[in-house]
Amino acid sequence: MLQIDEYANRFFPDLPHLWVGLPILVGITAGLFVGLVNGLIVAKLHVPPFIATLGTMVAVYGLNSIYFDTEPNQSQPIGGLRPDFTVIGSGYIDLGGGYSIPYIVLIAIAVALVCWVIFNKTRLGKNMYAIGGNIQAAHVSGIHVARNLVALYAIAGALYGLGGVLEAARTGGATNNYGNMYELDAIAACVVGGVSTAGGIGTVPGVMAGVLIFGVINYGLTFIGVSPYWQLIIKGLIIVAAVAFDIRKYMAKK
């Protein structure tokens, strides 16, 4: 087990051994801040959501790259993370009889339950569906659209931060390229799970099902030896086909 003074290229050599929950909270808070910025750009500047999030994604990637390139790291991957941190992503609860449940699965289930409660049992969740379905109608009906949008993007940002923390814990390291192209998987999983690109339609169980289906596709393609480049092509085709099918349903309802 590495001791605190044995890590190579420590960004803060004089930083003491911290409680493991502190960097986790910092990661989630950083994601929440970026989500808050996204929400303000969309709600106050009326920038289309896709453009706003794409722009901040590129900007944050640039900031991360600058940070990784500073002394003493100089763009080297960070590895050898503490075992009490990596256990979150790689540890499990032994149920006996050869069965176990990974901690990361329990966290995913807990997050899904919280999101289900927000979407189905709170005013914020009902407002989200209304805004997604017809933002003008939501505004006319008295919903404070800007406030709800900012809250939505802030929650999403916090979940992005949690996802980044879990990915670092799962792999035991981190680089500025972590999460690159993950947006394709997220979009595909959501669309396959029934989330409408037109807005206002989608459920948490549907998204979970989409994640499982797309996860099986990913691991299945890797298992049978399909090239990663062909996997990207297949993912792109799945996204296009799912969105085309969703648009056809939306047009038929109109």
| Helix axis angle, 228-253 to 182-192, nearest 10° | 40
Q: How confident is the model over 10-34, as pLDDT tens digits? A: 677 777 777 888 989 999 999 999 9
Q: Give the sign of the dihedral formed by CA 117, CA 118, CA 122, CA 126.
A: negative
pLDDT band at 1 (very low <50, low <70, confident <90, very high): very low
Instruction: Classify residue 77 by its DSSP letter.
Output: P
Q: How confident is the model over 141-194, as pLDDT tens digits? A: 888 999 999 999 999 999 999 999 999 898 888 888 888 888 888 888 888 888
Domains of the chain, by residue range, sit at 1-179, 181-254
- pLDDT for residue 83 is more than 50: yes
d(CA 90, CA 219): 18
Mean pLDDT of the chain: 85
The per-residue pLDDT for 38 is 95
Q: Residue 193 is inside which H or E element, if any?
A: none
The per-residue pLDDT for 218 is 80
- State the pTM of this model: 0.84
Q: Any alpha helices (H) in the chain, and if so which ranges?
A: 21-45, 49-68, 83-90, 103-121, 123-133, 135-140, 145-171, 182-192, 204-223, 228-253
Percent of the chain with pLDDT over 70: 93
Average pLDDT of 190-216?
A: 85
Pairing of strands 99-102, 92-96: antiparallel
The per-residue pLDDT for 146 is 92
Percent of the chain with pLDDT over 90: 35
pLDDT band at 2 (very low <50, low <70, confident <90, very high): very low
Count CB-CB contacts under 10 A for residue 47. 15
CB 207 within 8 Å of CB 106: no
d(CA 86, CA 61): 23
Q: How confident is the model over 102-154, as pLDDT tens digits? A: 999 999 999 999 999 999 999 999 999 999 888 888 888 888 999 999 999 99
Tokens of 157: 């940002």
